[in-house]
Amino acid sequence: MKPFWRLIPLVFLPLFTACASPTPTPIKTADLFTDDFSQDAGNWETFADENGAAAAIADGKLALTITRASTVGFSVAAINLANFDLTITTAQISGGLANGYGIIFRYIDEENFYRFDISGDGLWGVSRRLKDQWLPIAELTASPAIQTGHAANTLRLVARSDQFEFYVNGVLLGQLTDANLPVGRIGLFASTFDDPNTQVAFDDLKIVNP
């Protein structure tokens, strides 16, 4: 599959490009998915693009690198999930603190998915793209639970039907209800705004039944 990236205007919710796909069928197992990124097992899209976005698995991490301002890059895993409890450790290795990173979930195609963001300056938010239209469903809000700068944060996302819980470092940030996207793939992303360079590393992904 082609890499997902696109130059975007300077706004909170950047655009993506991807290939359309049918509504996915969820998997159901006790331990849904784990990945310590010790090797590239083909579960994630990796790429290096001349337009400023790259995803690579190396040194026990999945790293997303952006070299242009107002750009987003993401890698999506080859699994479909409905109900799940996901945790992952992530850190912004370089770049301006206003840059964002986090989790894409219930991804169907470029026009339909949710996104859980945190930023290097301690903000978090949740957004939905539905039929190619963006809507913030949890506005950007500061949280003292987020480790700022280049410190590591552990993100947790729990999805039960139309109910969602969002955590960072064991602290509940918020709860939301949204029934628009019942199932889809999960992904990891990084984005830039004014600062043209950033790298974000992800490690120790675990997804279990909620």
Average pLDDT over every residue of 4-10: 33
CATH number of the domain where residue 94 is located: 2.60.120.560
pLDDT for res 21? 41
- Residue 41: domain span: 4-8+32-208
> 184-191 and 100-109 as β-strands: parallel, antiparallel, unpaired?
antiparallel
Q: CA-CA distances (angstroms) from residue 113 to 56, 96, 129?
A: 22, 26, 5
The answer to whether residue 133 is domain-embedded is yes
Which has the higher per-residue pLDDT, 10 or 167? 167
**Residue 176 counted as domain residue:** yes
Tokens, residue 88: 């992952």
* Mean pLDDT confidence for 151-165: 98
* Residue 27 counted as domain residue: no
Q: Identify whether 22 is part of a domain.
A: no
Provide the CA 66 distance to its chain's centre, in angstroms. Answer: 14
Checking if the pLDDT of 22 tops 90, the result is no
**Helix intervals (H) in 65-157:** none
| Cα–Cα distance for residue pair 195/120, rounded to 1 Å | 12
User: Average model confidence (pLDDT) for the chain?
Assistant: 87
Encode pLDDT of 98-147 as tens digits.
999 999 999 999 899 999 999 999 999 999 999 999 999 999 999 999 99
Residue 104 lies in a domain: yes
The Cα 140–Cα 136 span in angstroms is: 8
Residue 24 lies in a domain: no
Whether 15 is in a domain gets the answer: no
**Which helix (H) or strand (E) segment is 109 a member of?**
strand 100-109
Strands across the sheet containing 112-119: 4-7, 71-81, 184-191, 100-109, 112-119, 123-130, 133-142
Q: What is the pLDDT of residue 194?
A: 86
User: Residue 172 pLDDT > 90, yes or no?
Assistant: yes
Whole-angstrom distance, CA of residue 201 vs CA of residue 198: 10
pLDDT at 72: 87
Specify the number of domains making up the chain: 1
For residue 191 the two structure tokens come to 């984005």
16 domain-assigned: no
Condensed to tens digits (0 to 9), the pLDDT of residues 42-71 reads 999 999 988 789 999 999 999 999 999 999
CA 133/CA 139 separation, integer angstroms: 16
